[in-house]
């Protein structure tokens, strides 16, 4: 029987990034994927003829350009197009637009409040400063504060030195940023409800917290750390849908000699004498490998794929306590024509970006109240995009694909499993919200896919349907992600590594966990790692 140098469980973006780097470093790598298609939560699927659905993740910003370049993803077809605008619709028939032009953006804010318009510069400066502090940490293994190894000490020193370079007021801001609620944070800059609602949304997306929960200010930073071609904080569409990201990765992987097997779900990781020896598929087939790397989240990996007896009790306890609460769903819609939003000027650039209907932070928080009580939000928060306004490849000419990210949706309804009736009622909250602002919207719907946490977990494998493979709160970041003592992609089982978003620096289609894990694996193998370039300088 063939023994692979490395077996990667899951063909999500991080699994593929990891596999690409290992293959390029000379290992013989196999990726096994339970679905008949690749991509994990970064897929494009033709669910109705003629339409490509980005049916999980739907926009791109965080994916690291260093990885795109190292793995030659443009050569394999990856293109990212930035948003042209964005809007929050207000209940009084107006809207707050986001415009790319700096002065137009200011004038749009000034429509609502001249003070807020001019406060935006101070806000942008402060957020940019924090991003610049954190960005270099994304592509580095988090130091183990309890370790005395020279590398850990060096990394700790780096972290300390970077913090030490901050001015006293920046240090104060950093600590506040990492601990405050996004609502409190925005109150310090702005007075207009819709402006705060617009900026707060980045603080709650993918998180089982409300905008008034402490810790959400950091989640906002996490969403601002990305870029489109150097434009920091910008978001864009992957041409061909988010599957274009994983398709480019897979093509790059295969071109460098790697092997992918789809329809090959892993039943468990084979462990002998405390060391991973391969995987056993659901079919019973055994595949032998010197290393096993799991792209699955930390709960799925260690509570489902590894036998409990192989794991130390404290580790297991911490994995059980890891917060990975489902909080969101998706409604993906094929439209036979461009929906109208009469509140917006004709041909507004806002249609070519993210649109929302939640115009106050309080409404967002009320949506979260429903989640706490075990229900989906009656008045949900939507992050709605029409990628086909900029990407002609996803639907026939004149037709459109609409992606609605929906929050909040609990992993269970009143403590019981979701039913199909629940799912349909959930979808109705979304459609009726859109229809309130877009007359005739229902009549344009050709096909619709509704994904609650139940569907996301069942199909993609994300525990509770949590899009980040674990919440991005400060207790679960850096050397505490996923659990203290195991934040460097290794696990208590020899030869078994983690490379998914449960690890540092966390979720989003970023690729950094997969890359950083590959660096650690190659270090353990004492193999040169010449294909991996350093993180771009933040100057």
Partner 1 sequence: MERDIAMTTQPATRRAAQSHIEAVRLESPFHPRFAALSQQNDWYSWAGYKAPHSLWDEEMEYFAIRSQTAVFDISPMVKYRIEGPGAEAFCNRLTLRNVAKLKPGKVQYTAWCDDEGHVLDDGTLFRLSASRFRLCCQERHLPWLLDSAIGFDVTVREETEEVAGLAVQGPTSCAVLKDAGLAGVETMKPFDIRVFPFGAGEVTVSRTGFTGDLGYELFIDAASALPLWDHLFAAGKLRGIRAIGYTALNRARIETGFIVANADFVTAEHAVRADRVRMPDEIGLDWMVDLDKPYFNGRRAIERARREGTLKHVLVGLEIEGNVPAEHAIVYHRKTKEAGLVTAAIWSPTGKRNIAIASLERPYGTRIVDDLWVEIYALRELRYQKLMKRAKIVERPFVKLARRTLTPPGDF
The residue ranges that bind partner 1 (CB under 8 A) are 92, 94, 97, 99, 101-104, 106-108, 110-119, 121-122, 125, 128-129, 132, 166-167, 169-170, 189, 191-192, 345, 348-349
Nearer to partner 1, 108 or 297 (CB): 108
- β-partners of residue 29 are 6
Element (H, E) at 270: strand 266-272
Nearest distance from C-beta of residue 128 to partner 1, angstroms: 5
Pair 368, 201: CB distance under 8 Å: no
Pick from 473, 472, 454: which is nearest to 463 by CA? 454
Nearest distance from C-beta of residue 121 to partner 1, angstroms: 6
- β-partners of residue 470 are none
Nearest distance from C-beta of residue 110 to partner 1, angstroms: 8
Question: Using only C-alpha atoms, what is the Rg of the chain?
Answer: 22
Pair 176, 185: CB distance under 8 Å: yes
Pick from 81, 455, 11: which is nearest to 243 by CA? 11
Nearer to partner 1, 121 or 307 (CB): 121
Residue 494 per-residue DSSP state: B
**Residues with Cβ within 8 Å of residue 354, at least 6 apart in sequence:** 59, 83, 86, 98, 235, 383, 384, 385
Nearest distance from C-beta of residue 349 to partner 1, angstroms: 8
Nearest distance from C-beta of residue 143 to partner 1, angstroms: 24
Nearer to partner 1, 170 or 524 (CB): 170
**Residues with Cβ within 8 Å of residue 505, at least 6 apart in sequence:** 137, 138, 142, 477, 478, 481, 512, 513, 516
Nearer to partner 1, 112 or 253 (CB): 112
Nearest distance from C-beta of residue 360 to partner 1, angstroms: 13
Token digits of residue 189: 């800059």
Nearer to partner 1, 125 or 272 (CB): 125
Element (H, E) at 194: helix 193-204
Report the distance separating Cα 378 and Cα 135, nearest Å: 36
Pick from 65, 70, 117: which is nearest to 228 by CA? 65
Nearest distance from C-beta of residue 390 to partner 1, angstroms: 18
Nearest distance from C-beta of residue 140 to partner 1, angstroms: 21
The 3-state DSSP class for residue 406 equals strand
Report the distance separating Cα 474 and Cα 325, nearest Å: 15
Nearest distance from C-beta of residue 386 to partner 1, angstroms: 19
């Amino acid at each position: 029987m063939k023994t692979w140098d490395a077996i990667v469980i899951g063909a999500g973006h991080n699994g593929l990034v990891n596999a690409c780097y290992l293959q390029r470093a000379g290992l013989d790598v196999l990726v096994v994927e339970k679905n008949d298609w690749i991509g994990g939560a970064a897929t494009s699927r033709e669910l109705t003829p003629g339409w490509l659905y980005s049916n999980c993740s739907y926009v791109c910003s965080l994916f690291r350009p260093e990885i795109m370049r190292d793995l030659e993803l443009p050569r394999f077809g990856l293109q990212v197009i930035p948003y042209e605008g964005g809007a929050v619709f207000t209940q009084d028939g107006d809207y707050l637009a986001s415009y790319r032009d700096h002065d137009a953006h200011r004038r749009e804010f000034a429509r609502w409040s001249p003070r807020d318009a001019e406060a935006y510069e101070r806000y942008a400066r402060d957020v940019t400063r924090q991003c610049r502090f954190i960005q270099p940490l994304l592509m580095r293994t988090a130091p183990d504060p309890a370790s005395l190894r020279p590398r850990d000490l060096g990394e700790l020193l780096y972290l300390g030195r970077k913090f030490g370079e901050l001015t006293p007021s920046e240090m104060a801001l950093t600590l506040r940023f990492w601990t405050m609620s996004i609502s409190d944070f925005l109150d310090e800059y702005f007075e207009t409800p819709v402006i705060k609602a617009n900026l707060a949304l980045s603080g709650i997306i993918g998180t089982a917290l409300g905008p008034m929960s402490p810790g959400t200010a950091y989640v906002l930073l996490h969403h601002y750390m990305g870029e489109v071609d150097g434009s920091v904080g910008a978001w864009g569409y992957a041409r061909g849908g988010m599957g274009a990201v994983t398709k480019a990765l897979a093509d790059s992987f295969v071109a460098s000699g790697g092997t992918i097997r789809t329809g090959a779900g892993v039943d468990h990781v084979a462990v002998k004498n405390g060391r991973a020896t391969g995987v056993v598929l659901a079919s019973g087939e055994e595949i032998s490998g010197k290393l096993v790397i799991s792209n699955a989240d930390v709960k799925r990996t260690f509570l489902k794929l590894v036998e409990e007896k192989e794991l130390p009790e404290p580790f297991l306890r911490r994995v059980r306590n890891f917060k990975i609460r489902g909080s969101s769903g998706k409604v993906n819609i094929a439209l036979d024509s461009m929906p109208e939003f009469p509140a917006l000027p004709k041909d507004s650039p806002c249609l070519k970006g993210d649109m929302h209907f939640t115009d106050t932070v309080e409404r967002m928080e009320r949506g979260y109240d429903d989640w706490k009580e075990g229900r989906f939000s009656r008045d949900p928060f939507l992050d709605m995009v029409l990628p086909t306004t900029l990407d002609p490849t996803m639907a026939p000419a004149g037709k459109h694909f609409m992606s609605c990210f929906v929050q909040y949706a609990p992993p269970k309804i009143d403590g019981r499993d979701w039913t199909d009736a629940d799912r349909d009622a959930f979808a109705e909250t979304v459609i009726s919200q859109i229809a309130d602002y877009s007359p005739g919207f229902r009549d344009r719907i050709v096909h619709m896919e509704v994904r609650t946490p139940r569907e996301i977990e069942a199909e993609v494998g994300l525990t509770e349907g949590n899009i980040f493979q674990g919440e991005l709160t400060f207790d679960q970041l850096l050397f505490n992600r996923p659990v203290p003592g195991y934040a460097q992609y290794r696990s208590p089982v020899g030869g078994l590594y983690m490379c998914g978003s449960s690890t540092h620096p966390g979720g989003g289609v970023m690729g950094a966990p997969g890359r950083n894990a590959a660096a650690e694996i190659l270090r353990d193998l004492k193999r040169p790692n010449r294909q991996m370039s350093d993180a771009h300088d933040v100057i």
